[in-house]
Each structure stands twice: as C-alpha cells, then as structure tokens.
Amino acid sequence: MAVTGKGSVIVAGVGPGLGMAIAMRFASEGYGVVMMARDRDKLSHLARADPEHLVSFPGDVTDPAAGEAAVEEAERRFGPLSCAVFNAAPWRTGSILDIAPDDFELCWRVGAFAGLLLGQAAARRMVPRCAGSIFFTGATASRRGGSGFANFASHKFALRGLAQSMARELGPKGLHVAHIIIDGQVRSAESEHLLAERGPDTLLEPYAVAEAYWQLHVQHRSAWTHEVDLRPWAERF
C-alpha cells in the first residue's frame, strides 16, 4: 500500500526534462509518483533518483487500458490519486504539402486522444471524492499554428479545447483542471548550447516550470487558475 502520507500522482509523458522535473517536485512534497512513458529502460533509470517516491510504469498512452492501469497502480502503491499530469507531446514538423496522413493521425492520438484517456481515468477516481487536479501541458502552438507546424498545432489546439471542456464540467465537482502553456524552449541536453548564443535564463528551466505545476496544485479552490503561460524573460510574444 502507500509508502507516503500524501497520496499518489501520475505523470504521463516522462523524459529526463520537464516530465522528470514535475515528478521530482511532487515527490519532494511526499507524494508517490507513477511515471508513464513507452521507454522501459529510460523510465527505470529515472525512477532510481528517488526509489521511495518514484515508480516507472511503461505503457502506451494511446491504449485506453493503460491509463486505467496506471491509476490503479498509483492508488495501490501510494493511496488516492491527487494529481494527474498529461505531458506527452509528439514532435513532427513539415510542410503541409508533405504531411503523411499517418503522421498527422499519430500526433493527434498521442497528443490529444491520449489526454482524454488519462483525464477520464483520473476523473473517474477523483469525482466521487470531490477533489483532485488534472493538468495538461500546452505550448505556443496551443494558441497559434505556425508554418510547418500543422501536426503539432493541431493536437495542441485539440488538447487545449479538451482542457477547457473538462474544467467547465469538472470544476463544479471539485476538480481543478488547468492548461499550462510552455511558450519557449525548455532547457535540455539537446538545447543547452543555445544558452551560449542567447544568454542566461533564455531557456525555460525544467525545475522552474515544475514549480508552476506544484503551485497550481496547491491553489485554494476559491481562486483557481485554469490557464497559465510560462516563458523566459527574453522570449518575444
């Protein structure tokens, strides 16, 4: 059963950057966190950072059974589900003239359809308790589609609409649904070199972004935020 006193959290779409930072932020507060992604070996490695609070759960977010199984595992290990974070985001750019239909559909399935599946699985546990948070990670493309970004913008627009509908339905039932727009590039091993070109703090620090998710989770329900946008100080918008 539970190894923590706070309850459980699910983060779907976990890699070494933002997903891991979110998981670690909640773990630091005593929550047990189930981290979901397809790469079994990578997840197992990440979970070693805090074996008491982090558990890897390899799975396909587009599989309707996977979200339910992740929720069951989270509650079995750590107690009632307190927060679910959907952070999966396929990244495939290309000209509208060349987009393969299969690629477009895949992006929608991973980036939007899977958000519905996780949100449903979480809400079904949270609604009877009248409590819980469900968060969706958005992007600049959630608000505007750029040239060459039809694949990405289409699923981000859909995810934003899903978050709005869920918030309006589930808010009165005691659930906090929020959409977090990441308006800029998150620092990672691949983007680190850009700091030398752009200057300090011109990429979003994963731990700083994760802090925003935590602050949303602990907001008093008399003053909930549905949508917040985060960007580096030097980012144009």
For residue 228 the two structure tokens come to 């917040």
Residue 9: per-residue pLDDT:
98
Residue 6: per-residue pLDDT:
85
Residue 92: per-residue pLDDT:
79
Rounded Cα gap, residues 112 and 43, in angstroms: 22
Helix (H) or strand (E) holding 57: strand 54-58
Residue 91: per-residue pLDDT:
78
Look at phi and psi of residue 194 and say left if phi exceeds 0, alpha if psi is from -120 to 50, else beta: alpha
Please, what CATH class does the domain formed by 8-230 belong to? alpha beta
Residue 192: per-residue pLDDT:
86
Does residue 64 sit in helix, strand or coil? helix
Residue 89: per-residue pLDDT:
86
Residue 1: per-residue pLDDT:
40
Residue-wise DSSP of 178-213: EEEEE-SPBP-TTTTTHHHHH-TT-SB-HHHHHHHH
Q: Which amino acid is at 215?
A: Q
Residue 5: per-residue pLDDT:
62
- Averaged in consecutive runs of 10 residues, what is the pLDDT profile of the chain (237 residues)? 71 94 97 93 92 94 94 96 94 86 93 97 97 97 91 94 98 98 90 88 95 98 97 90
Residue 131: per-residue pLDDT:
97
